[in-house]
Amino acid sequence: MSALVIRELHELGELEKVSALFEQIWGAEPGASPMGVEQMRALSHAGNYVAGASTDGRLTGASVAFFAAPVGQVLHSHVTGALPGHAAGLALKFHQRDWALARGLSRITWTYDPLVRRNAHFNLTKLGARPVEYLPCFYGAMDDAINGGDDTDRALCAWDLSHPVAVSAAAGAPHAAPLPADAVTALAVREGRPALGSQDASTLLVEVPPDIEGMRRTDPGAAKEWRLAMREVLGGLLAEGARVTGFHQRAAYVVERATTA
């Protein structure tokens, strides 16, 4: 296998390559990268995290993060992108984790689209992070190839770096979400469309469509239905204090409802 090398980036030429890589990954027009060279240069110079992953000298992934509140505790990872087939995304996140721990930080946060199955599986199972807040239309309208003009609802993900699940994931043991026998499906995939179910249980499953990005191109009406349904169900549960505890069989959030004494 080719060697993957990860290191911090500072020079303008390196950052220009990162910007071009992000344009390629997001399908953005030239000059419309989700993170510009000037911003990365400023963040890097100020001591924030800007790193790239290279395979045989070719840039295959990059990540940009900055210090966040509470001061001295949190790093916010704003953009991470990687080409498929190199395991660069996972390696970058664990490099970022080591970087944060070396600076005395205890948590990394980032946002992701809760309708994208592979991202949910990556964040919750491979890393041991957890969605803690639902943010409707967080970035406004975005017309790149990934977002396709859909509302940019995001889940704020929190990665508590010393939590046993995160520590196990860093050691190569992904988290398998336990599922009680009495779990109830609160949102299901039915012939591609969202179907609301019961929320009358302490453990709920919130299913995610197999390919929301493809659906945005082929059936934007169904994609919009999914956006609104996920906002109502997962967003509503998080707002009332429920906790997401895992992602079951690469297909559904496992949600534990808050209990009252």
Place of tokens 């020079």: 11
Q: How far apart are CA 6 and CA 229, in angstroms?
A: 39
Q: How far apart are CA 95 and CA 81, in angstroms?
A: 14
Provide the Cα torsion 119, 208, 125, 69; round to 10°.
60
Helix residue ranges, H only, the chain:
12-26, 37-45, 88-102, 117-121, 164-170, 212-218, 220-230, 236-239
**151 is in which domain, residue-wise?**
4-170
Residues 2-12 pLDDT 10s = 689 999 999 99
128 has pLDDT over 80: yes
Are 193 and 147 found together in one domain? no
Q: How far apart are CA 137 and CA 150, in angstroms?
A: 9
Are 132 and 203 found together in one domain? no
Strands 243-248 and 252-256 come out as antiparallel
Question: In 16-153, where do the E strands start and end?
Answer: 49-55, 58-68, 74-82, 107-112, 130-135
225 has pLDDT over 60: yes
Q: What is the number of structural domains in the chain?
A: 2
CATH number at residue 161: 3.40.630.30
Boundary of a domain, candidates 170, 205, 227:
170
Residues 109-120 pLDDT 10s = 999 999 999 999
Q: How far apart are CA 249 and CA 254, in angstroms?
A: 10
Are 220 and 137 found together in one domain? no
- What are the b/e assignments for 66-98, b being 16+ CB within 10 Å? bbbeeeeebbbbbbbbbbeebebbbbbbebbbe
Are 117 and 58 found together in one domain? yes
- Could you tell me if residue 131 is inside a domain? yes
pLDDT at 143: 61
Q: List the beta bridge partners of residue 75.
A: 67, 108
pLDDT at 258: 79
Q: Measuring CA to CA, which residue among 146, 49, 144, 164 is closest to residue 98? A: 49
Are 201 and 158 found together in one domain? no
Confidence of residue 141 (pLDDT cuts 50, 70, 90): low
147 has pLDDT over 60: no
Q: How many other C-beta atoms are found inside a 10 Å radius of the C-beta of residue 246?
A: 21
Arithmetic mean of pLDDT, 40-66: 97
pLDDT at 15: 98
142 has pLDDT over 90: no
On average, the pLDDT of the chain sits at 94
196 has pLDDT over 50: yes
Phi, psi (degrees; rounded to nearest 5) at 17 = -70, -35
Arithmetic mean of pLDDT, 157-168: 97
pLDDT at 247: 97
Boundary of a domain, candidates 126, 141, 170:
170
- Could you tell me if residue 179 is inside a domain? no
Q: Which residue has the higher pLDDT, 147 or 103?
A: 103
Confidence of residue 146 (pLDDT cuts 50, 70, 90): low
One-letter-per-residue 3-state SS of 164-209: HHHHHHHCCCCCCCCCCCCCEEEEEEECCEEEECCCCCCEEEEECC
Q: List the beta bridge partners of residue 6.
A: 53
Arithmetic mean of pLDDT, 180-202: 96
Q: Which amino acid is at 103?
A: R
Q: Measuring CA to CA, which residue among 137, 158, 141 is closest to residue 244? A: 158
